[in-house]
A and B are shown apart, each in its own frame.
Chain A
Amino acid sequence: MGAAQQSASDKNASAHGTGGGGTSRPDAGISAGVLQNNQVGEGDMIQLLDAHGKRQAESTFGPYIDALDAETIRGFYRDMATVRRFDVEATALQRQGELALWVPVVGQEAAQIGSGSAMVPADYAFPTYREHGVALTRGLDLADLLKLFRGVSNGGWDPREKNFHLYTLVLAAQTPHAVGYAMGIQRDLAADPTTEPAAVVVYFGDGSSSEGDVHESMVFAASYDAPVVFFCQNNNWAISVPFEVQSKIPLVNRAGGYGIPGIRVDGNDVLAVYAVTKWALEHARNGHGPVLIEASTYRVGAHTTADDPTKYRRAAEEEIWKAKDPLERLETYLRAEGLADEAFFEQVKNDGDELAAHVRSATLALGGADIRQKFATVYAEAHPLVAEELAWFENYQASFTDNETEQGGAA
């Protein structure tokens, strides 16, 4: 069944064998109707580039990378470095009071650039609120992402232009939307067979995996063979809740329950992520139905700029993951294989600084939010209740002696 991994460890046996307490219940054993061990274990995952930047052989997914030219692989690095530089600038802008909030992506660049690069223009992506890397691969101007976080827009871009949906802040709410969109693609194809085949990638995290929406989405997707790839970035922390609370076994095993293929991939290995997503998208586009990908990665920074991870996790854990940095390992590989020289890395850095300057000036040029616009977009047409509430609010605003809005940051 596709790429679902069989675990070498006999986990079930040990879990059932030792019953607590005095009375020992017999193991359910290998009988008809008893679920048998079919699990991907903690250590199992697709990896094509190990933590030291060494290429690993793999018969199913390796060929996807063998087919790539050096320029494409350099592009992976360029994109990861670009989004990391962008992230630094956006974080600084938040600290300077120019953004209300920022959601750092550092540590997850490979999972995002790898999966985003595997999509073709006709595919459609449904992001959470952290998919800055995917946005880059879809061709967005990253400065547009900041409009939402500055509060000047409810979106920031036209999702139809690059087939990149608006950020969704309600956890897992994008998963049913994505399945619905994928079912729409199926119907378009049925109505007009000349339509270009396409698939959907829906992003979510380990925390969202516990939401009912994800379950419902997977049931629908499986039932209708919808062309959707469920791409879970398991970054190990749902704000302050560690992954162990979400699931006792790797999330990919849930795919078995829906009867769809599941792939667990090293989410810090951009080559492996690219290859497995490419495989999954082809599977979906060719009418074989959904795939679940669990990308094992780590949120190196805070959940958002309003979060302080030192309150709930130890520095030692962060150090372990920093050693698995996605950029460093690809850089090691590129240098060792002679695929990139010093001038390339220099250029990437300069381009990143240039982008950062662009993002900064574009953000500062956005000005402040207009509260009237929020009232104006509640209903399509004028509404007496909204008008009354706006009047009340304006009256309230005018009641202060310091009639300047309290705005932090640069004066």
Chain B
Amino acid sequence: MPNLNYFKLPDVGEGLLEAEIVSWKVKPGDTVAINDVIVEIETAKSIVELPSPFAGVVAQLMVAEGDTVEVGTPIFAVGSDASTPVAEEALSPAPAAEAEAEVMKPLVGSGPKADAVKRRPRISSAPAVVQVAAASPAPVVTPAATPAPTSSLESAKANRVLAKPPVRKAAKDLGINLADVTPTGLRGEITKKDLLGYQEQRVADQGQVGTFWAPSTASGLADDARVERIKVKGVRKATAKAMVESAFSAPHVSIFVDVDASRTMEFVKRLKVSRDFEGIKVSPLLILAKAVIWAAARNPSVNATWAGDEIIVKHFMNLGIAAATPRGLMVPNIKDAQDLSLKELAIALNALATTARAGKTQPADMQGGSLTVTNIGVLGIDTGTPIINPGEVAIVAFGTIKLKPWVVEGEVVPRWITTLGGSFDHRVVDGDLSARFMADVAAIMEEPALLLD
């Protein structure tokens, strides 16, 4: 065998113990020069490229993509001439005689992941302990290596969340995925405040379950101490008034349509990784909002107000988004949403949600709405009959999107299905108009490319 130069995984940070092999940039048989990039690795600190310290021909790649190996582990070998490549050996254990077992240890291991921190074996007087220590590095070799799913990693990279290390640590401790938190930092980074605000909301949502039931002591009648009386005021009062006014003055007609939103899901996925949308949160709600604006232009009477002796049709779209806020239900709207590009609309939706979640929605944000969307899907609900926001004649409820069996060309296939529900004021919007409007919205969800029309 010709002489091989082995490259051991270095500590590329300060005091790192291991790294994951993200992707190989060469294959056995490739000729490399000094400083040619060989492999991309990810450590706890960063993703970095490792350049070759050797010139020659790549003989072996000794670790599979996706595997995590300790610092000091040989990860590739370079030989001096073209006769050296041993491609098969790259992904299978080499004969133990060829090199010390240490070199050949972590080939295509996909066995149970060991502790992140491994201690160097110590000399001990108890032989049993030595045996255990010696046995532990034995490789668990799976014959068929599954290629690492790099696509998810790629998208994670392209759509990276900005946050400082203490915030990352805090999020990890709290078990919060930073991607779920809306950033408000100067440069789009998630601040500690954002994280704590998110946590507070989460705790408020889930926290009260354990202490809800009070022990049985009395009758259950009005004087029962277990009855909690909540004063109706503020937003609760306003919501109640508006809903009664709407439900009992506008004759509601509700219709529903099931939609295959798979293409919307794909579109959203592509937007998320596109450079143009870097740092902007994109969700299917964005496409729905765009669809509603598009459909309203084709069926203008849904974007109107009933005024008794006249119908006021609005040639602008102040798109309302129903939002659960710390203070209660709010319906702020995006002014002149018809003029916004997809990106601008995404930014506006994010800003609206951030403001609402922070309880900072201003009265002006809620006035002059022309049509409303309520996103009940975020709570996992399929559909419902929404009540129209007073002063408007239509509302669209956006149900959850989940994989369901769907018939495509006679075959049952899993597709991303959602249900759209719409309520309309029958004084203004008749059955056929509401149906056409909903069908238009559904058409966009099925094929967002129609927006290009």
Question: Nearest CB to that of B49 among chain A residues?
Answer: A95
A315 within 8 Å of B (CB atoms): yes
Residue B229, interface by CB 8 Å: no
Q: Which of B7-15, B206-214, B369-377 contacts A (4 or more CB under 8 A)?
A: B7-15
Known: A96-B50, A244-B186, A410-B53. A310 touches B160 (CB 8 A): yes
Q: How far is the CA of A402 from the CA of B5 in the complex (A)?
A: 21
- Determine whether the beta carbon of B46 is less than 8 Å from that of A308: yes
On chain A, the number of residues with a Cβ less than 8 Å from chain B's Cβ atoms is 37
* Contact yes or no, A400 B120, CB < 8 A: yes
Interface of A is mostly: loop
Question: Smallest CB-CB separation from B160: which chain A residue?
Answer: A310
B164 on the A face (CB < 8 A): yes
Judge whether B51 and A411 touch: CB under 8 Å. no
Distance in angstroms between the alpha carbons of A305 and B50 in the assembled complex: 12
- The reply to whether the CB of B48 lies closer than 8 angstroms to some CB of chain A is yes
Is the Cβ of A100 less than 8 Å from the Cβ of B51? no
Known A409-B7, A411-B7; contact A314-B13, beta-carbon cutoff 8 A: no
Given known contacts A400-B123, A401-B123, A100 and B14 CB-to-CB distance under 8 angstroms: yes
A23 at interface by CB-CB < 8 Å: no
Contacts of B164 in A (CB 8 A): 240, 312
Interface size class of B (residues with CB under 8 A): 35 or more
Contact at A95–B188, with CB atoms within 8 Å? no
Contact A242 B7 (CB under 8 A): no
- For the complex, is A399 an interface residue (Cβ under 8 Å from B)? yes
Residues of A close to B162: CB separation below 8 A: 311-314
Q: Is A29 at the interface (CB under 8 A from chain B)?
A: no
Q: Is B187 an interface residue (CB 8 A)?
A: yes
**A97–B10 CB distance below 8 A:** yes
Asked if A51 CB lies within 8 Å of chain B CBs, one says no
Nearest chain A CB to B382's CB is how many angstroms away? 38
Give B35-58 as 1s and 0s: 1 = Cβ < 8 Å from A's Cβ atoms: 100000000011111111110000
Distance (whole angstroms) from the CB of B185 to the closest CB of chain A = 10
A227 to B163, CA, bound (A): 43
Residue of B nearest to A97 (CB): B10
A317: B residues at CB distance < 8 A: 187
User: Is A101's CB under 8 angstroms from B5's CB?
Assistant: no
Tell me the B327-356 residues at the A interface (CB within 8 Å).
none
Cα separation A100 to B50 with both chains bound (whole Å):
14
Q: Is B74 positioned at the interface, with any CB of A under 8 Å from its CB?
A: yes
- B61-95 at interface with A (beta carbon < 8 Å): 71-72, 74
Beta-carbon contacts under 8 Å, A350-394 to B? 360
Partner of B74 from A360, A407, A411 at Cβ < 8 Å = A411
A411 nearest CB neighbor, chain B only = B6
Chain B residues near A360: list those with CB within 8 A. Answer: 34
Q: Among residues 97 to 113 in chain B, which have CB atoms less than 8 Å away from a CB atom of chain A?
A: 102
Query: A306 with B279: in contact, given A360-B34, A406-B72 (CB under 8 Å)?
Result: no
In the assembly, what is the distance between CA of A234 and CA of B372, in Å? 49
A98 within 8 A of B: yes
1/0 per position for A187-217, CB-CB distance to B under 8 A? 0000000000000000000000000000000
Answer yes or no: B278 CB below 8 A from chain A CBs: yes
B133 within 8 A of A: yes
A94 to B120, CA, bound (A): 24
Tell which of A94, A98, A411 has the most Cβ of chain B within 10 Å: A411
Asked if B189 CB lies within 8 Å of chain A CBs, one says yes
A307 within 8 A of B: yes
Closest Cβ of chain B to A86, distance in Å, is 13
CA distance A408 to B53 in the complex (A): 12
B279/A314 in contact, CB under 8 A: yes
Asked if residues A308 and B45 are in contact (CB atoms below 8 Å), the reply is yes
B231 interfacial by beta-carbon distance below 8 Å = no
Give 7 A-B contacts (CB < 8 Å), ordered by A residue.
A305-B13, A315-B278, A402-B102, A402-B120, A408-B8, A409-B10, A411-B7
Q: What residues make up the interface of B, taking CB atoms closer than 8 Å to A? A: 5-14, 34-35, 45-54, 71-72, 74, 102, 120-123, 130, 133, 160, 162-165, 186-189, 275, 278-279
Chain A residues proximal to chain B, CB less than 8 Å? 88-89, 92, 94-98, 100-101, 240, 242, 244, 302, 305-308, 310-317, 360, 399-402, 406-411
Extra contacts besides A95-B10, A101-B14 (16): CB < 8 Å: A88-B35, A89-B35, A92-B51, A96-B50, A310-B46, A313-B187, A314-B162, A315-B278, A399-B123, A401-B123, A401-B130, A406-B72, A408-B72, A409-B8, A410-B8, A411-B5
